[in-house]
Chains A and B, each alone.
Chain A
Amino acid sequence: MTGLFRLREVTCTYGADVVLDAVDLAVEPGDFVGVVGPSGSGKTTLLRAVTGSVTPVTGAVERRRSLSVGYVPQLETVDWNFPVTVGECVLMARAASRRRPWASKEEKADVARTLDALGIGELEERHIRELSGGQQQRVFLARALIGKPDVLLLDEPTSGVDVRTRHEILHLLTDLNAYGLAVVLTTHDLNGIAAHLPQIVCLNRTVIAAGPPHEVLRPDVLERTYGARMEVLEHGGMPVVVDEWHRPRATGTTGRASVLKMRP
């Protein structure tokens, strides 16, 4: 196959619960895809189906031969009290390739080069809890990148981080994508992340819509995805999604105005 991977009619279940239902999705080299959807819509399961840690009950996941996948987990799932330094954490990616516990000269150079490229070269000996949210995300990015992946999968990379860190992560991923790395991420953040990506997949157990943000971020698609009414406005050529709940009723102010008022 010419693409990196393709999900064909993939259905996954946890017990009696159907988490993914006949999902079709193809990712090509150089793609940058954001998967959006409500909690429990199957975003993480979709990533796990791609990695092979979840097996579909029907359908198939086709991967390019010797496809290398870099996986960055949700930061909320990381045990920050685990005794591991930044260097030790990054080196875990080489777990299956070397028998000896200590790092070879080449591995040390690889770790240093990767951390430097991500702007955290001086943090190699620090414990992972002693870092900022953005630095922590970069450590796990470094662990994924040191395996030289063809595609990077990130589960909610901007969950729980501040606006500045979110911008840093988005710029970093955009740069990596510009160098040819395919990126697939899940996110809840429609305006801060999804609207800035070239491709979006709206998922709620099945694929509701897929395409560029200005084609996909439509009220009817979002209502089918989230089960709630949303308004889509345009600001600076970008779609801006407004939750109907945020619209002040008494004053009759439009959703657009309320969004603009909230901006600094």
Chain B
Amino acid sequence: MDGVLRPFDYEFFRNGIAVATVAGALCGLVGTYVVLRGMSYIGHGLSHAIFGGFAASALAGVNLFVGAGAWGFASALLIGAVTRRRPIGSDAAIGVVTTASFAIGLALLGKFGSAGENPDTYLFGNVLGVDRAQVWLVAVVAVTAVTVVVLAYRPLLFATFDPDVAEVSGVKTARLDAVLMLLLAATILTTMKVLGVMLVAAALVIPPVVARMVTNSFSRMLVLSTVIGAAAGFTGMLTSYHLDIPSGPMIVLVAAAAFAVVFLATGVRGLGRTRGLDAA
């Protein structure tokens, strides 16, 4: 038992496991809406687009969150403009704009990133390198997300399930969509250092899909997805220490293992419930 708990002797590990657990829960919570609204690809694309902003902000000496946030917002506007002016689908526009933004980030860091900027930090995360301020930042975003979900639980559910009738029933769906996009952007921005660009999308998608295979109730799915995300963060960090495997991939592997176990346990019935989720 002492061996299992030994890493808790180190502050960097305590910070890491705290931020990984909270980030997992945050991704599981926000990811439930992302998956049910068919926005998984937007989540995936936004994390790649924001990477360009991270790289540019780091090199320009601008605050990372402000710079990357503005970059992500500009990417979203560009996706909208491309979709409106050309006869291509929004998924194709997301693919073009966000991968181009990702490539700009890699190119900038490759050409000018000699001042200690390592792309791997953003690509794969560096959870053991987070300080106490970053732990608090993720915690503040998580508390904000929980507050929004609790206060707007019913309108968010209605607008996610049936936006047209929700609008008729007095729900301000456009405002809720904007709030959800802001929450998603804040989630990606704050968890990118923990999980990395490549793995944030997995943390947003896998816990809700696993939860969906277990339950037919929205409220239970929301809670389960949050718990699964947190458990994957906690267990992934512990396992990564003991097996000496990078933390970000290990967290996603734990979530994927949960998917495999639930899939085997629920069989076709569980997988059938995920029909219609674009992530499944």
Q: Which of B157, B164, B169 contacts A147 (CB 8 A)?
A: B169
Interface residue tally on B, bucketed by range: 20 to 34
Asked if B1 is at the interface (CB within 8 A of a chain A CB), the reply is no
Pick the interface stretch among B53-61, B105-113, B148-156: B148-156
- The answer to whether A71 and B151 have CB atoms under 8 Å apart is no
Known: A81-B275, A82-B276, A83-B216. A92 touches B168 (CB 8 A): no
- The answer to whether A83 and B215 have CB atoms under 8 Å apart is yes
Q: Which residue of B lies closest to A72 (CB)?
A: B165
Asked if B114 is at the interface (CB within 8 A of a chain A CB), the reply is no
What's the Cα separation between A89 and B157 when bound, in Å? Answer: 9
- The answer to whether A83 and B164 have CB atoms under 8 Å apart is no
Question: Which chain B residues border A98 with CB–CB below 8 Å?
Answer: 154
User: From residue B213, how far is it (CB to closest CB) to chain A in Å?
Assistant: 10
- The answer to whether A92 and B157 have CB atoms under 8 Å apart is yes
What's the Cα separation between A229 and B217 when bound, in Å? Answer: 49
Interface residues contributed by chain A, number (CB under 8 Å): 30
Q: Identify whether the interface residues of A are mostly helix, strand, loop, or mixed.
A: loop
- The answer to whether B154 and A92 have CB atoms under 8 Å apart is yes
Question: Which chain B residues border A104 with CB–CB below 8 Å?
Answer: none
- The answer to whether A69 and B217 have CB atoms under 8 Å apart is no
Known: A83-B212, A101-B219, A147-B169. A95 touches B164 (CB 8 A): no
Q: Mark A214-232, 1 if CB is under 8 A from B, else 0.
A: 0000000000000000000
- The answer to whether B150 and A92 have CB atoms under 8 Å apart is no
Asked if A241 is at the interface (CB within 8 A of a chain B CB), the reply is no
- The answer to whether B150 and A101 have CB atoms under 8 Å apart is yes
Question: Which chain A residues border B277 with CB–CB below 8 Å?
Answer: 81
- The answer to whether B162 and A95 have CB atoms under 8 Å apart is no
B112-171 contacts to A (CB < 8 Å): 150-151, 153-155, 157-158, 160-162, 164-171
Q: Mark A81-92, 1 if CB is under 8 A from B, else 0.
A: 111110011011
Q: Which of A79, A95, A101 contacts B171 (CB 8 A)?
A: A95
User: From residue A214, how far is it (CB to closest CB) to chain B in Å?
Assistant: 33
Question: Which chain B residues border A77 with CB–CB below 8 Å?
Answer: 164
Question: Which chain A residues border B170 with CB–CB below 8 Å?
Answer: 95-96
Asked if A65 is at the interface (CB within 8 A of a chain B CB), the reply is no
Q: Which of A51, A53, A84, A96 contacts B161 (CB 8 A)?
A: A84
What's the Cα separation between A92 and B160 when bound, in Å? Answer: 11
- The answer to whether B168 and A53 have CB atoms under 8 Å apart is yes
- The answer to whether A51 and B168 have CB atoms under 8 Å apart is yes
User: From residue B8, how far is it (CB to closest CB) to chain A in Å?
Assistant: 34
What's the Cα separation between A113 and B71 when bound, in Å? Answer: 52
Q: Mark B243-280, 1 if CB is under 8 A from A, else 0.
A: 00000000000000000000000000000011111000
User: From residue B275, how far is it (CB to closest CB) to chain A in Å?
Assistant: 5
Q: Which of A88, A94, A100 is packed against the most chain B CB atoms within 10 Å?
A: A88
User: From residue A71, how far is it (CB to closest CB) to chain B in Å?
Assistant: 5
- The answer to whether A71 and B168 have CB atoms under 8 Å apart is yes
Question: Which chain B residues border A71 with CB–CB below 8 Å?
Answer: 165, 168-169
Going nearest first, the 3 A-B pairs with the smallest beta carbon separation are: A101-B153, A81-B276, A127-B216
* A-B contact sample (10 more), CB < 8 A, given A85-B216, A127-B216: A48-B164, A52-B168, A78-B162, A79-B276, A83-B36, A83-B217, A88-B217, A92-B161, A95-B166, A101-B154
